[in-house]
Amino acid sequence: MILTVENLKKSFDGFVAVNGVSFSIEKGELCSIIGPNGAGKTTVFNLITGYLPLDEGRVIFNGVDITHMRAYQICRLGMRRSFQRTNIFPRLTVFENVQAALLAYRGKSFNFFTPVETLFREETEAILGRVGLQDHSNAMSGSLSYGFQKQLELGIALASEPDVLLLDEPTAGMSTEETSATIELIGRIAHEKGLTLLFTEHDMEVVFSISERILVLHQGQMITEGSPDEVRTNPDVQKVYLGEAR
Partner 1 sequence: MSKQDWFLIPIFLILCLVPLSGSRFYVFLATDILIFALFAVSLNLLLGYTGLVSFGHAAYFGIGAYACALLMRKASIVFPVSFVAAGLFGALAALIIGFFCVRLTKIYFAMLTLAFSQIVWAAAFKWNSLTGGDTGFIGVPFPQYLDSKTRYYYFTLAVVVVCLFIIRKVVNSPFGRILTTIRENSERTEFIGINVKFFQLVAFIISGFFSALAGALFGIFNHSVFPDFLFWPASAEVLIMTILGGMYSFFGPVVGAAVVLFLRMQITSYTQYWPLILGMILAVLLFFFPGGIVGFLQNRLTLLRGNR
Partner 2 sequence: MTLPDPSFLVIQCLNGLTYAMFLFLIASGLSLIFGVLGILNFAHGSLYMLGAYFTHQLVSLFVDTPGQFWWAVIFGSLAVAAIGVIIERFFLRPLYVREELNQLLFTYALVLIFSDFARIIWGTDQFSVSRPAILKGAVDILGQYFPKYNIVIILLGPCIAFLFWFILLHTRWGRMIRAAALDREMLGSLGVNVSRLFTVVFFVGAWMAGLGGALVSPVSAIVPGMDVEVIVNAFIVVVIGGLGSFWGTFLGALIVGQVYALGILVFPRLSLVFIYVLMALVLIIRPWGLLGRPLQKR
One residue of 103, 214, 237, 240 binding partner 1 per CB under 8 A: 103
Q: Parallel, antiparallel, or unpaired: how do β-strands 213-218 and 221-226 relate?
A: antiparallel
The answer to whether 203 and 212 are in contact (CB under 8 A) is no
**Rounded Cα–Cα distance for residues 236 and 238 (Å):** 5
Shortest approach of partner 2 to residue 32 CB, angstroms?
A: 21
Size of the site for partner 1 (CB under 8 A): 38
Residue 131 or 217: the one with the smaller Cβ distance to partner 2 is 217
One residue of 13, 37, 110, 244 binding partner 1 per CB under 8 A: 110
In terms of Cβ atoms closer than 10 Å to its own Cβ (0-12, 13-18, 19+), residue 180 is: middle
List of residues 6+ apart from 172 with CB closer than 8 A: 84, 202
C-alpha dihedral over 21, 22, 26, 32, to 10 degrees?
A: -20
**Rounded Cα–Cα distance for residues 153 and 167 (Å):** 10
One residue of 3, 88, 128, 183 binding partner 1 per CB under 8 A: 88
x/- track of binding to partner 2 for residues 40-79 (CB under 8 A)? --xx--x----xx---------------------------
Q: Segment contacting partner 1 (CB under 8 A): 11-19, 32-40, 108-116, 197-205?
A: 108-116
Q: Does 151 bind partner 2 (CB under 8 A)?
A: no
**Rounded Cα–Cα distance for residues 121 and 26 (Å):** 34
Binding site for partner 1 (CB under 8 A): 49, 51, 70-73, 75-76, 80-81, 83, 87-92, 96, 99-101, 103-105, 108-117, 119, 156, 159-160
Binding site for partner 2 (CB under 8 A): 12-13, 17, 42-43, 46, 51-52
